[in-house]
Structure 1
């Protein structure tokens, strides 16, 4: 059986997309190469035809996750790109319940730091989020500092909400943080 000319590229992209989703949902350490490849109907040995190592996959799938996140965010915030809308989108129940489609920071940031492997892509994502948040705030000389507080609150609240077993507690974390971060913008 002959494969299409772009078969390898398509397979590579499928692996990246699946890994990006699994790393965001389960974390880097909990995502094994064998189960990942099996889920795609591929062999573990075939992995090395596409990537040098798991670290290589982590870096490339993080890029894929960031690209997916920006495309999704741009679409969802097309009509209202205010910082308040960004906060509502980030601290939504949908984002909490579907980490595989959302921001990689709540799942992957601490793990990358603990592994001693911070990524330039993480820095890029952080800087882009900071710029997005700052752009939607009044220029009061404190917007840069406020954007750091906002982003820290967003990511931290998402980590806590995802880790809470009680759905009411998880929702309270999201709701309270949304309200307090919006007050930070106004004040």
Structure 2
């Protein structure tokens, strides 16, 4: 019997989380069973428990990973208004709307997270607070509390706009929702 190195085990865990991120954002938490998530990663169901104690643990790890990626993306932006506006425009784009599996975990999973077990909600809360912080640092107002309030408002508008745009089947009406959301984000950046 060959034992996996800790590096190989971590690579496999990372692969599971990456594939789970796409599937969960596409099909929802309840729409994806362990067997589907493992098949996506090219692994058997038996390998699952070598990495996670339950599906909820996998979902929590995936949500944390997805939010950390989003945090890191924002943090890597140049610290200027134009870069933040470009990020916002990309977030509220038809491409992002039409490909939830590639995008924001909040817009794709927020309703599911709210109904999830505490381990998932705690992972989400921790990750989204970090995103509030990184956005607040890029909203250049003198008062730190005001910057944080604006960051929370900005995330709220982004996520709600994308969710609403995805729920509307008429492409023209959905595009109008995206455009209105984009216009509304400017109130947080003044």
1:29 Cα deviation from its structure 2 partner: 0.7
18 and 131 in structure 1: CA distance in 2 versus 1, 3 angstrom threshold: same
Identify the match of residue 176 of structure 1 among 171, 176, 180. Answer: 180
Aligned twin of 1:119: 121
Q: What CA deviation, in whole Å up to 9, does each residue of 1:57-81 have, x standing for no partner?
A: 0111112212322344445x34755
TM-aligned CA deviation for residue 83 of structure 1: 4.1
For normalisation by structure 2, the TM-score amounts to 0.81
Deviation at 1:4, TM superposition (A): 6.6
Conserved 8 A contact 2:64-2:127: no
In 2, Cα distance between equivalents of 1:126 and 1:56: 18
Compare 78-87 and 161-170 and name the one that shifted more: 78-87
Residue segments in structure 1 that go unaligned for 5+ positions in a row: none
The count of corresponding residues between Structure 1 and Structure 2 is 185
* Greater alpha carbon shift after TM alignment, 36-45 vs 14-23: 36-45
Residues 80 and 25 (structure 1), Cα distance of their counterparts in 2 relative to 1, 3 Å cut: farther
**Contact kept in structure 1, 2:20 and 2:37, CA below 8 Å:** yes
What are structure 2's unaligned runs of at least 5 residues?
none
58-67 or 85-94, which deviates more: 85-94
Q: Deviations over 1:30-57 (max 9, x none)?
A: 1111112223332222211221000110
